[in-house]
Amino acid sequence: MDLFLPIERHHKPTVELQEFCKRQGILHERIPVKSSERNPNIERFFRTLKEEFVNLNKFDGYSSFIRGLDKFIMDYNTIKPHQTLGHMTPNKFYKEILRNNASRRVLVV
């Protein structure tokens, strides 16, 4: 399964993170700092994460948080269509980019 892990460019990923992403089939994308066409989407993701996951759940500890977070991100990437992706899920959008049927220009907010 292809997943996205966007991180601002000034955050240097560790070797462990890079290896984990590779093993898990996660596309680790580093975005430029102050990139007005990309950062609003990342900010929106964190807002959604807080509003639809963190603020609505109680966690018994780190393990229950991580289990819930895994499910939230899976649903976010595979079930929920996104307006900025032409009403596709992130996974569908990624597959369409690989087929040259979609453009990153659709990410404009």
Q: How many domains does the chain have?
A: 1
Question: Rounded to whole angstroms, how far apart are CA atoms 1 and 93?
Answer: 13
Given a cut of 70, whether residue 68 has pLDDT beyond it is: yes
Q: Average pLDDT, stretch 91-95?
A: 89
Q: Average pLDDT, stretch 79-92?
A: 89
pTM for the whole thing? 0.61
Which residues lie below 8 Å from residue 25, measured CB to CB, with a gap of 6+? 1, 2, 3
Domain residues for the domain of 39 are 3-107
